Structure 1
């Protein structure tokens, strides 16, 4: 890799000869780690012209650095950072005066300290990854996705991928969501009632920003998606946590007044409970009585490989008080980061304006590629393939859990991609997860899902979306052995 010539400059307060200053500039770049071994330096002619010095000065500086083993020369190719150059120090070098700001006072608000899970980026290298939200690349339709991406990159679609939509979205993607995705959930919506987001997380953030203030109260399920709880904490609203049971959120436990109720009725996160129809109607009635809005996160509704999914809350709503959150990131692949909001026009109008002030709109190329993948039928084929694979993996998982005597706390009635587990009360699954990682097993401790300062630590989640069926039993055996050792 060639190092761009415009990354070099001589400071106005440098001391010594030009030749010495050039040597020092390059040596500092190597010692700081900015210039990597094997990278090619600019030619002496181009660097001299860029710095405004004679070519001989640069040539002599290069020669001295070569003699010191910082550089190596290759015939007819130029100078490179030597393989024997000194290693950068382990500590980062800092310019003088960088830490003169008192950041404890300078920061107006803090967004750290949430419950973001610790997941290794190389999770796929572990033999037993029971991680939720990750997918098995062997299940994905790489060929057709690549075909759709090439089609989106073509001349005919150049406007769609290159244009600045400002606060709008790709009409092809909106059309598919309107005519195909939403009707499957019993939802009828017009294009101006839909907003494309950067995944469900972004949709929940936009919703909280638009609907909540410091004087309003949000109801969340307990346990619930930890990312939602972080969002509500940052919004500074009042939060009321309602314990869920085997049928999801109980309407009779709602506080006397709530402004916004966040729920996952079809597939409760993380317990996998499914809210029955009678409770859904009761929840809508309770929200009507207190004049509250409901935010329905309908994640994983496509993964209903055991039974048909229940009707969405949005499809039962006759008052326009339900805001629907959907996502393609769970069903296509997590890195896609495409979701959508469906709600009344006044709400979508404000959410659209807020999104435009933060990121304008999701990248046009990704929207158009996804639109082709969806509209050409590849998405439906992918869902069928994933459903068959998940059904087999769940069968193997449940057999392994029964064989090794592990306790299931919740499983999806219609399907899904994970099982909610419970260990004995005196077991800290955070410590167990750390120990299992050294054995190649990745699990998700459940404490971060619970509300309060002292959450139960004996819950954990096991996903089967990212692990081949042939490895499930061996991984469950290692988990059982670790729990037995703790017990």
Structure 2
């Protein structure tokens, strides 16, 4: 019966009429309603669903307007046969239309192609960052890269969404823009976002991307000529390492210390280097201005190109933010990339890169081959959000919240986890923690999750070649005689303030359990 196909949810964002309309449309498209029989009257369906008859009548009227059903005088409502026109019909073994087809039967017996033999590469075999999608249900979510939904500026975003849906705005973004970006967004990035980092750029030097990973993939695809060497921090950002490993023949792990990337001899032999100077991933240490200038001088002397990932903009809580490497670059050797989604919403996927015009021109063409451009409606809404000052106001609110959480978590770690190293960290949105010798961060994460606590693995930040041997490739400068398995990462952007101290205390208790002699 029709009412069995309709399940009303009082907690849904859709009202009852919308739920009924949606359920009926799905039932019609899935072929659950016969064409030759009338659907139940509004009176019968309203009684079966325990809703008002008027609600059902409004739903039926919407379906008539949309062409799903038709009204026949004195007979009732019927499924409109034309709504199913244009659909391919599968033939069954007897040559008649039906759900059981020869193709489906054959699929059950034929092994099909061996896909693993056909893959040029298998990204799934790389060690990737793994975060649960249901992190909200955990009592102590020490995660980074997420935002607390309560901090999202919903009223302001709705305001910008409405303006983006005005008649004039819709004309701007509904068409195929080929490889261009929203001029308003480019202007806002150029005049409102980049100057905060000391960067001044022409519109032709800016490209909008679907987040930093997209920027990294574009750059890797363009620059990975045979024989070129890509250097990156080790430990470092796993997604960047995996992208580079899939494109470059040689990936050089470079050591870091308490001040970020070490300007070592292996660096001088690279063609490109990826670095996170504002807050090194994963340690959150900041590269001082003197080392930044030396890195740029080294890049000029050795014909090196620097890829700067400024993934955490303005989250210094003690000193003022240092100028970006790109702002100090007078030779066009720095490719700068960042993201607005870290502050606004990760799901929005709005990032950008700044580089010399010839590189941006080629990246724009390559992006067109991949996806044309990021969705223009999202670009316009983000541009409006920036232009009205909402982004600046949000930054200030989040800075205050994150500074409080940073103080709470650093003090709690100092109190409950004495094995941790004291590093000159001035901000960021996560803490890099060293556990005692013998700790296995994977076992720690497993046991912690069973007790309602989420944390991030530390060993994944180390390259394969040093995973079990911290003395390889100079990574000893960071870890000493430690093992990568001793390290883990604690984000503090989504955990409630009152949960931070008891959460750290719980981690300390689990560490003690796991490292006690058996």
Same fold (TM over 0.5): yes
Return the alpha-carbon distance in structure 1 between the equivalents of residues 347 and 424 of structure 2: 24
Number of positions where the alignment pairs a residue of Structure 1 with one of Structure 2: 419
1:466 aligned to which of 475, 484, 494? 494
Aligned partner (choices 272, 280, 283) of residue 271 of structure 1 = 283
- Look up the match of 1:192: 204
Looking at structure 2, the residues matched to 411 and 372 of structure 1 have their Cα atoms a distance apart, in angstroms, of 40
**2-side partners of 1:122 and 1:94: how far apart?**
38
Tell me if the contact between 1:410 and 1:419 (Cα under 8 Å) persists in the aligned partners: no
1:156 pairs, out of 149, 164, 168, with 168
Rounded Cα–Cα distance in structure 2 between residues aligned with 1:97 and 1:232: 40
CA distance in 2 between partners of 1:49 and 1:336 (Å)? 34
Ranges in structure 1 where 5+ consecutive residues have no aligned partner: 10-40, 52-91
Q: CA deviation at 1:111?
A: 2.2
1:295-310 superposed matches below 5 A? 295-310=307-322
CA distance in 1, matches of 2:257, 2:83: 73
8 Å contact kept, 1:151–1:157: yes
Shift of 1:102: 1.5
Q: Distance in 1 between matches of 2:118 and 2:425?
A: 50
Asked if 1:336 is matched to 2:348, the reply is yes
1:216·1:258 contact (CA, 8 Å) conserved in 2?
yes
Among 485, 492, 498, the residue aligned to 1:457? 485
- How far residue 395 of structure 1 moved from its aligned partner, in angstroms, is 1.4
State the match for 1:141 in structure 2: 153
SS at match of 2:207: strand
Partner of residue 481, structure 1: 509
Q: Is 1:116 paired with 2:156?
A: no
> Cα offset for 1:410?
6.5
- 1:259-408 equivalences under 5 Å are 259-408=271-420
Shift of residue 4 of structure 1? 5.2
Matches of 2:222 and 2:238, distance apart in 1: 20
In 2, Cα distance between equivalents of 1:458 and 1:125: 27
> Which residue is 2:35 aligned to?
none
1:240-259 to structure 2, matched below 5 A, reads: 240-259=252-271
- The Cα of 1:8 is off from its aligned counterpart by 4.8
CA deviations on 1:158-181 (whole Å, 9 max, x unpaired) are: 123312221110011100111121
CA contact (8 A) 2:234 2:253 kept: yes
Distance 1:189 1:128, change over 3 A: same
Alpha-carbon offset, residue 240 of structure 1: 0.5
TM-score, length basis structure 2: 0.76
Check conservation: 2:417, 2:435, Cα contact below 8 A: no
- 1:250: how far off? 1.2
Name the CA distance, whole Å, in 2 between partners of 1:384 and 1:394. 15
SS in 2 for 1:117: coil
C-alpha spacing 1:96/1:246, structure 2 compared with 1 (3 Å): same
How well do the aligned residues superpose, as a CA RMSD in angstroms?
Answer: 2.6
Distance of 1:45 and 1:429 partners within structure 2: 58
1:461 match: secondary structure: strand
